[in-house]
Amino acid sequence: MPMPFSVCTRDCYDTCSILSEFKDRRLKVRGNPEHPITAGFLCPKGALLPKWFHAEDRLKRPLIRTGERGSGSFRETSWEEAIELVARKLRKTIEDHGSESVLVYQYAGDRGVVNYAFPLRLFHYLNTTMLDYGICDRAGQEALRDVYGTAVGMDPEELKNQRLIVYWGVNAFWTNLHGFVLARKYGLKIWSVDVVRTETAKRSDRFFQIKPDTDVLFALGVAKVIIEEGLHDKAFVRENVYGFKEFKNYVKTLSLDYVSRETGIGIEEIKTFAREFAEKRGVIHIGYGFQRSLAGGEAVRAIAILPALIGHSFGFIYDMKTIDKSYAEGAFLRTKPAKRIPQMKLAEYIERGGIKFLYVYNSNPLASLPNQNRLRKALIENDVFVVTHDIFLTDTALYSDVVLPANTFFERLDILDSYYHRYVALNEPVAKLYGKSNSEVTRLLAKALGIKNRHLYESDEEVIRKVLEMNGLNWETLKREGFLKVPEKPRRWETPSGKIEFFSQRAVKRGLSPFPKYRSFKGKYPLRLLTPTHRMTITSQYHNTHGMIDPNLYVNPSDAKERGLEDGDTVEVFNDNGSIRTEVRLTEDVPPGVVLLYKAFWAKLLGWNANFLTEDETVEKYGNGSAYHSTWVDVRKV
């Protein structure tokens, strides 16, 4: 018997193909050796997937809240009663307050084509309010569209013909391990640009340690040197770039001395970057993490210009859209255009009383959204009926009226694409323990609501076959091989001029400057708080199962000295949003003026998480993208 194919469905670049086995009631996993990106190994989190699958604390039966919201008082109930209650409440809310008072809040907790999108069919059918996503990569999406008309960059397998990759604001060794290993295997030089000396920085051939928010200046400085030393690809630029002359004049006025002072990167280092980057025709992996700040959008716009200067058509890695998955989501079921609310403004919309019914799946907003004190207060003080469908009793589930147990991807059929590479992979059921899939619950709810439309009852396999067919991909091949590569079609830049826009007409239309602009930002408190990814979690996931999480606050010794702090001291970290207590670790990896907490753990296990401090401000001109790295705090010994 061949082993079933699984896919790690987590919100992660790598989207690994897994060979799994269920024997003697235990799950075993290993990386698919045939898959060119997975290459036969799993990351440290992926290797522990069986621990997650078999976890004692997996939800087994639906729960109905019996006590105060957040108190953890629930009673167990049957699926029949739970579904009946959710359907009744949903119907009543729509009758009393209209369909737009219902919001479905979901994200990429599971990226399976069916299990990500199918539940949205129900909400489209009901004409409810939908999310305008902004928590993760939004500013960069907008910025790359400003320059290239798309955020879809290079196929990472094309790296085999390249010599240099720059990890710019991305901790690839933790967040894109298979990509990092691929770059090494292909023999590329690896550089890193980051505020923090990350594990990626430590493994890079060169590391450029930059001050927060100054990436736009650094990129412009590099562009200046490339242009003024005549290192750019003149023929390519002449033919394919819109606004080169104006851009050249724009960077002319910039002094390298100023760039160096602001960024903290020496003039010689800036020149070295420019010369070697041009000579080796570097490619840039533009990170998601670093663009979640007030400066993020402009920074991505500036960085995006660099590979084009040296002759790359799409010389960046950011997003990959290989297949059209819209059929699974079924927006065609709507009869009214969707009201969309910015994802980052959930608390604000609840406070305004506009949301009466909230259905959450594939997401843990009570860990992952910034400004948790505000969000939790909004949920407690307003009349919102909350339903959460999750594998575990997360913080979000804890604040819900009804909790529905989800199963895991090991327990159902699905297919996945990746936002990093060009493979679509098959995920087959291996075993069954507890809970129901996102699509199963959708069908049950549709039935309880008395909906007749056949699109709400399509099976997972029907949806998958239809999506594959619409993309010209073969189901039989996928079933046999476990994955297939979606070929890349020739493409051009989808900008107003049809060229790469150094002078961005789209940005101008939104009231932005035609060229990326530097601004320095200051907070009310002295220390900049960064809350990046942790090695062993995916945002909040695996906190309860994998262990090894690191809740410490990392501080530079100079900031510690100023505050009389020693390694291991318990401190209070505070600002106007909240205050948390944890232990301090002194490290030179974090520069002076910056402190670091890893992102979004389970507050119910730790008593706090980093998002009790982060800011929920958004960047309006960049799609209301999140800006929680623009958070400032202070620290004192307790």
Ligand X SMILES: Nc1nc2c(c(=O)[nH]1)N[C@H]1C(S)=C(S)[C@@H](COP(=O)(O)OP(=O)(O)OC[C@H]3O[C@@H](n4cnc5c(=O)[nH]c(N)nc54)[C@H](O)[C@@H]3O)O[C@H]1N2
Contact positions vs Mo ion (CB under 5 A): 136
Distance set, CA 278 to CA 223, 225, 250, 286, 339 (Å): 10, 10, 20, 17, 46
**362 near ligand X, rule: CB under 6 A:** yes
Q: Is 115 in the site for ligand X (CB under 6 A)?
A: yes
Q: Which is nearer to ligand X, 242 or 628 (CB)?
A: 628
| 169 contributes a contact to ligand X by CB under 6 A | yes
Indicate which of Mo ion, ligand X, none lies near residue 105 (CB less than 5 to 8 Å, by partner kind).
none
Q: Which helix (H) or strand (E) holds 390?
A: strand 385-390
Q: How far is the CB of 172 from ligand X (least distance, A)?
A: 6
β-strand partners of 341: 131
- Work out how close the CB of 498 gets to ligand X at its nearest, in angstroms, rounded to a whole number: 30
What residues numbered 377-396 form the site for ligand X, per CB under 6 A?
A: 389-392, 394
* Nearer to ligand X (CB atom), residue 11 or residue 569: 11
Q: How far is CA 455 from the centre of its chain?
A: 29
What is the rounded CA–CA span in Å between residue 51 and residue 45?
10
**Binding partner of residue 577 among ligand X, Mo ion, none, CB under 5 to 8 Å per kind?**
none
Q: How far apart are CA 43 and CA 178, in angstroms?
A: 8
Long-range contacts of 400-403 (CB under 8 A, 24+ apart): 400/65, 400/360, 401/64, 401/65, 401/69, 401/89, 402/62, 402/63, 402/64, 402/65, 402/82, 402/85, 402/86, 403/59, 403/62, 403/63, 403/74
Of 565 and 610, which CB lies nearer to ligand X in the complex structure?
Answer: 610
- The site partner of 212 among ligand X, Mo ion, none (C-beta below 5 to 8 Å per kind) is ligand X
Q: What is the CA radius of gyration of the chain?
A: 24
Q: What residue 362 binds from ligand X, Mo ion, none (CB within 5 to 8 A, per partner kind)?
A: ligand X
Return the residue of 328, 530, 560, 571 that touches ligand X, per CB under 6 A. 530
Residue nearer to ligand X on the CB measure, 116 or 148: 116
Residue 222 binds which entry of Mo ion, ligand X, none, with Cβ cut-offs from 5 to 8 Å by kind? none
Among 65, 535, 546, 604, binds ligand X (CB under 6 A): 535
Contact assessment for residue 346 and residue 369, using Cβ atoms and an 8 Å cutoff: yes
Applying CB under 6 A, which of residues 65, 534, 546, 604 lies at the interface with ligand X? 534
CA 541 and chain centroid, separation: 13
Q: Which stretch binds ligand X (CB under 6 A): 68-76, 171-179, 180-188, 262-270?
A: 171-179
Residue 614 sits in the site that holds ligand X (CB under 6 A): yes
- Told to check if 634 binds ligand X by CB under 6 A, we report no
Judged by CB under 6 A, does residue 134 bind ligand X? no
Give me the least distance between CB of 288 and Mo ion, in Å please: 6
Q: Which is nearer to Mo ion, 136 or 251 (CB)?
A: 136
For residue 262, the 8-state DSSP code is: H
173 binds ligand X (CB under 6 A): no
CA angle 621, 625, 626 (to 5 degrees): 135
Tell me which of ligand X, Mo ion, none is bound by residue 194, counting a contact when its beta carbon lies within the kind-specific cut-off of 5 to 8 angstroms: ligand X
Among 46, 62, 212, 625, indicate the residue that binds ligand X (CB under 6 A): 212
Q: Does 105 bind ligand X (CB under 6 A)?
A: no
Picked from Mo ion, ligand X, none, the partner binding residue 349 (CB below 5 to 8 A depending on kind) is: none
Residue 429: strand, helix, or coil: coil
The residue whose Cβ lies closest to Mo ion is 136
- Using the rule CB under 6 A, is 133 a contact of ligand X? no
Is residue 363 a contact point for ligand X (CB under 6 A)?
Answer: yes
Residues whose CB falls within 8 Å of the CB of residue 202, separated by 6 or more in sequence, listed in order: none
Q: 419 phi and psi, to 5 degrees? A: -90, 10
How near is the Cβ of 46 to Mo ion at its closest, in Å? 17
189 or 197: CB nearest ligand X: 197
The CA-based angle 607-611-616, given to 5 degrees, is 150
Report d(CA 39, CA 181) in Å as an integer.
9
Whose CA is closest to 600, among 551, 634, 556? 551
Among 6, 540, 577, 618, binds ligand X (CB under 6 A): 540
User: Residue type at 629?
Assistant: H
Find the shortest distance in angstroms from Cβ 11 to Mo ion.
5
DSSP code string of 480-547: HHSEEEPPPPP----STTSSEESS-HHHHHTT--SS--------SSSEEEE----TT-BTTBTHHHH-
Comparing CB distances to Mo ion, the nearer of 105 and 503 is 105
CB distance 140 to 288 below 8 Å: yes
**Residue 7, strand partner residues:** 17
- Binding letters toward ligand X, positions 402-421, x by CB under 6 A: ----x---------------
Binds ligand X by CB under 6 A, chosen from 8, 193, 219, 571 = 193
From the CB of 138, what's the least distance to ligand X, in Å? Answer: 10
Both tokens assigned to 488 = 């890349």
Question: CA nearest 551: which of 616, 596, 614?
Answer: 596
* 3-class secondary structure, 31: strand
Helix intervals (H) in 186-285: 199-202, 215-228, 234-240, 244-252, 256-263, 267-279
**Residue from 103, 274, 278, 367 that binds ligand X (CB under 6 A)?**
367
9-48 positions binding ligand X, by CB under 6 A = 11-12
The answer to whether residues 605 and 546 touch, using CB atoms and an 8 Å cutoff, is no
What's the closest the beta carbon of residue 129 comes to Mo ion, in angstroms?
22
| x-or-dash string of contact with ligand X, 63-102, rule CB under 6 A | ----------------------------------------
Which position among 439, 539, 544, 582 is part of the footprint of ligand X (CB under 6 A)? Answer: 539
Tokens of 422: 């060009």
Contact of 63 with 74, CB cutoff 8 Å: yes
Look at phi and psi of residue 247 and say left if phi exceeds 0, alpha if psi is from -120 to 50, else beta.
Answer: alpha
Q: Taking CB within 5 to 8 Å according to partner kind, which of ligand X, Mo ion, none is near residue 204?
A: none
Using CB under 6 A, which of the segments 124-132, 253-261, 507-515, 607-615 binds ligand X?
607-615
Taking the CB of residue 245, how many other CB atoms lie within 10 A of it?
11
> Which does residue 532 bind out of ligand X, Mo ion, none, counting CB within 5 to 8 angstroms by kind?
ligand X
Contacting residues toward ligand X, per CB under 6 A: 11-12, 107-110, 115, 135-136, 169-171, 174-175, 193-196, 198, 210, 212-213, 215, 287-290, 293, 361-365, 367-368, 389-392, 394, 406, 438, 530-535, 537-541, 599-600, 610-611, 614, 628-629
